């Protein structure tokens, strides 16, 4: 016991001596003790420092850059007040099956976000059609932070343009639509929008290329390296005068799950936007050109059958009576090689060029007929076909029709659409359904009777509205190959 006490006292003595030595050392260095064991207020010796008072260069030394900097800021201040943030909400209807195989429609809430630009003093806003597709609630946030509901005036699905009207008193600050035909490769442009919900973002770049195509429907786009990201869709691409030269529509991103800017963005030229805008404001809908032909793609089998050697062109299989094609003298088995002096690569491309041609314009056609190449002249008219009436997707009759064919589709996500994907994806095909012989899982359906579909609801609306009255044509892509499939009219019960 005494030995333990002696060891304890020895250790205590060593600790006290050590503490005394450390304290004495600190007192010698800093002149006072600190109860916390740390140096006191006088422990820090001030460092000598000298901060520079002058910039390396005077502004007069970089006069050009200085003026350019001020002009960039001036341009931004002039453009940003006309750019709006768009928030949408809606109900998406999806076809599901219960454990007994019975079809039913399920509704789920959806939300979206994009950009837009004010183009009239009355408050009309141009944005992308895919930003508001299938959404019934649209909210627009202005530069001053105030939010207002907006009404959809009309949409051009082929061009991916929609026109909204802000439900608030004006006047508003619009931007001018410039002349996109004057745009040059290499010129400076600015993209303005709300990427990832970050409002009023401005990025700078150049026009990298013109007449780019990201699908058969979206052609002749501007390519830019101004940073465009998800949320920029519908925002303007402006020139040095603050004029709109394009509406940002898509980006290229190899990562499908997490798309981001890779230096390649695409914009719809302002001249196309202006034409569609005027038509929607005047008539409530876009006015597309009409030729009046049924076409078939040229493949090796067709070439051998008709003796056609060139690699481009589209085969005419039928001509609508009293149509521009009929009046021009087009005949079945003709091959249209050029439309308005532009080579024809596919039926879809030709139809797109026809639709984008102003009504009343006279257009030359380069046609191959029985081994000879001839030139015909046609006058493009308006397509006056009647739009199908809206269908109640929840009714027992509609659900029964969908059950008969057994096709379940889903819409592309916003991320997928931002990469240029169009149409709807087939997720399930009933092996006993009427469509099983032609449609497969993972097919991408682009159009019903040549009417483009952008969501599952649009597909079912167009498909049911047509198949109950007539044989219906579906345009689809399977493993990168485009094809046309015709389904027979639904059976009456």
Residues labelled catalytic: 130, 160, 233
Angle at 330 between CA 329 and CA 334, to 5 degrees: 140
CA distance 133 to 162: 9
- Give the residue carrying structure tokens 């001839």: 374
CA distance 274 to 278: 6
CB atoms within 10 A of CB 240: 12
As a whole number of Å, the CA-based R_g of the chain is 33
Residue 454: which residues within 8 A CB-CB, separation 6 or more?
129, 130, 133, 134, 157, 411, 422, 423, 424
CA distance 407 to 393: 14
C-alpha closest to that of 314 among 300, 328, 295? 295
User: Facing residues of 251 across strands?
Assistant: 265
Range 162-196 burial, b when 16+ CB lie within 10 A, else e: bbbbbeeeeebebbebbebeebeeeeebbbbbbbe
């Amino acid at each position: 016991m005494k030995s333990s006490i002696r060891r304890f006292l020895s250790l205590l003595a060593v600790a006290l001596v050590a503490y005394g030595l450390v304290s004495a050392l600190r007192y010698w260095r800093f002149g006072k003790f600190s109860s916390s064991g740390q140096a006191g207020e006088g422990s820090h010796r001030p460092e000598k420092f000298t901060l520079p008072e002058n910039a390396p260069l005077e502004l007069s030394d970089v006069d050009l850059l200085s003026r350019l900097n001020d002009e960039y800021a001036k341009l931004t201040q002039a453009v940003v007040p006309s750019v709006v943030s768009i928030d949408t909400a809606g109900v998406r209807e999806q076809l599901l099956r219960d454990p007994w195989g019975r079809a039913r429609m399920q509704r789920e809430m959806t939300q979206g976000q994009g950009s837009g630009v004010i183009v009239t003093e009355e408050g009309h806003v141009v944005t992308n059609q895919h930003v508001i597709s299938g959404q019934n609630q649209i909210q627009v946030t202005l530069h001053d932070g105030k939010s207002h509901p907006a009404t959809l005036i009309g949409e051009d699905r082929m061009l991916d343009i929609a026109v909204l009207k802000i439900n608030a008193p004006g006047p508003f600050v619009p931007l001018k639509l410039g002349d996109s035909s004057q745009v040059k490769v290499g010129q400076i442009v600015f993209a303005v929008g709300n990427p990832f919900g970050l409002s009023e973002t401005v990025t700078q770049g150049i026009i990298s290329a013109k007449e780019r195509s990201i699908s058969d429907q979206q052609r002749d786009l501007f390519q830019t390296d101004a940073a465009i990201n998800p949320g920029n869709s519908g925002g303007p691409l402006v020139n040095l005068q603050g004029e709109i030269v394009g509406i940002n529509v898509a980006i290229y991103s190899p990562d499908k799950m997490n798309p981001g800017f890779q230096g390649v963005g695409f914009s719809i030229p302002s001249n196309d936007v202006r034409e569609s805008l005027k038509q929607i404001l005047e008539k409530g809908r876009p006015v597309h050109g009409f030729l009046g032909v049924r076409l078939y793609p040229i493949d090796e089998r067709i070439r051998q059958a008709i003796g056609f050697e060139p690699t481009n062109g589209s085969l005419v299989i039928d001509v609508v009576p009293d149509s521009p094609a009929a009046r021009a003298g087009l005949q079945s088995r003709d091959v249209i090689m050029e439309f308005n002096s532009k080579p024809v690569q596919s039926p879809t491309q030709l139809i797109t060029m026809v639709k984008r041609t102003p009504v009343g314009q006279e257009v030359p056609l380069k046609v191959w007929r029985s081994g000879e190449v001839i030139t015909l002249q046609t006058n493009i008219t308006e397509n006056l076909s009647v739009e199908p009436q809206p269908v109640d997707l929840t009714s027992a009759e509609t659900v029964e029709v969908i059950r008969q064919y057994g096709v379940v589709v889903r819409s592309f996500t916003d991320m997928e659409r931002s990469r240029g994907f169009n149409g709807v994806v087939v997720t399930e095909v009933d092996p006993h359904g009427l469509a099983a012989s032609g449609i497969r899982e993972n097919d991408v359906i682009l159009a019903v009777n040549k009417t483009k579909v952008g969501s599952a609801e649009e597909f079912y609306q167009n498909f049911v509205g047509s198949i109950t009255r007539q044989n219906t044509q579906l345009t689809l892509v399977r493993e990168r190959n485009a094809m046309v499939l015709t389904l027979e009219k639904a059976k009456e019960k």
